Structure 1
Amino acid sequence: MRPIPFVVHVIVVAVALWVCTLLPIGVHAGGSSTGARIGTLLVVALIFGLVNAVIKPIVKTVGCAFYVITLGLIALVVNALLFLLVGWIADKVGLTFSIDGFWSAFWGAIVVAVVSWLLHVIIPDSIDER
């Protein structure tokens, strides 16, 4: 992946996380200033990308039968659990990002997915060449 599309992707996920924190679903990003909050969201977006790139394929491979049996609906649960993992990792590295519980992660993962998709639809292909 070239640097510019990677940076755009991280920014898109950070904006999606920010939108998620604006909604009353139990996802919070703190910071003493606007710059600190933006930095927190950018680092959490990087963690989010790493978790989805490394752990998600393993889970999908191991749980392939569950995906088939549930017609893919288990993906909602997997995404919620991975989002909870992102919140846990963020807490362990000292970031002020928290998720209140499973249902907060469930709705948060859906919001992040939808907002990211919408932003990737809006961004021209010449900038984001995934």
Structure 2
Amino acid sequence: MTSILFRFLANAVALAAAVWLVGDITLGEADASTGSKTVTLLIVALIFGLVNLIVKPVVKLLSLPLLILSLGLFTLVINALMLMLTSALAGDAFEVDGFWPALLGGLIISIVSWAVTLVLDND
């Protein structure tokens, strides 16, 4: 249970870093009644986590030949596509304007999520 919570918090921090560092990735207001960017960020992190849990393994399996040929670098493209899918599912709450910002955002999210998980997870 704590592992899921750590992964959720790592995704939220990583998404916040991507929004902060990449100008074409924006975070809007998901719910006008709360008016809080933190709530919006947590909702987007939940959507991103579900996309990575459900869709990403299927896409990785289907693109296995490309992953082998590119020695794993195609994973960056898959991460960008998962970020763009999250943007499509989140609507106005989270927007990614194009593939290149998504690629850079996916790279940032991967690095920050790995670092936060490394710091928080003491197992």
Unaligned runs of 5+ in 2: none
Q: 2:27 aligns with which of 26, 29, 39?
A: 29
CA displacement at 1:7 relative to structure 2:
2.2
Equivalent AA in structure 2 for residue 106 of structure 1: L
Equivalent AA in structure 2 for residue 104 of structure 1: P
Superposition RMSD in Å: 1.9
Match for residue 102 of structure 2?
Answer: 105
Q: 1:120 aligns with which of 102, 117, 122?
A: 117
Describe the superposition over 1:61-84 as per-residue Cα deviations: whole angstroms up to 9, x where unpaired. Answer: 111111111111111111111110
Match for residue 84 of structure 1?
Answer: 84
Match for residue 65 of structure 2?
Answer: 65
Equivalent AA in structure 2 for residue 68 of structure 1: I
Equivalent AA in structure 2 for residue 121 of structure 1: L
Match for residue 40 of structure 2?
Answer: 40
Equivalent AA in structure 2 for residue 78 of structure 1: I
Match for residue 14 of structure 2?
Answer: 16
Equivalent AA in structure 2 for residue 99 of structure 1: V
Amino-acid identity (%): 37
Find the aligned partners of 2:118 and 2:33 in 1 and give their Cα distance. 31
2:95 aligns to what SS in structure 1?
strand
Structure 1 residues 20, 33: closer, same or farther in 2, change over 3 A?
farther
Describe the superposition over 1:51-104 as per-residue Cα deviations: whole angstroms up to 9, x where unpaired. Answer: 11111111111111111111111111111111100111001xxx5211111011
Equivalent AA in structure 2 for residue 102 of structure 1: F
CA displacement at 1:18 relative to structure 2:
0.8
Structure 1 residues 103, 8: closer, same or farther in 2, change over 3 A?
same
2:44, 2:93 within 8 Å by CA — same for their partners in 1? no
Equivalent AA in structure 1 for residue 13 of structure 2: V
Count residues with an aligned counterpart. Answer: 121
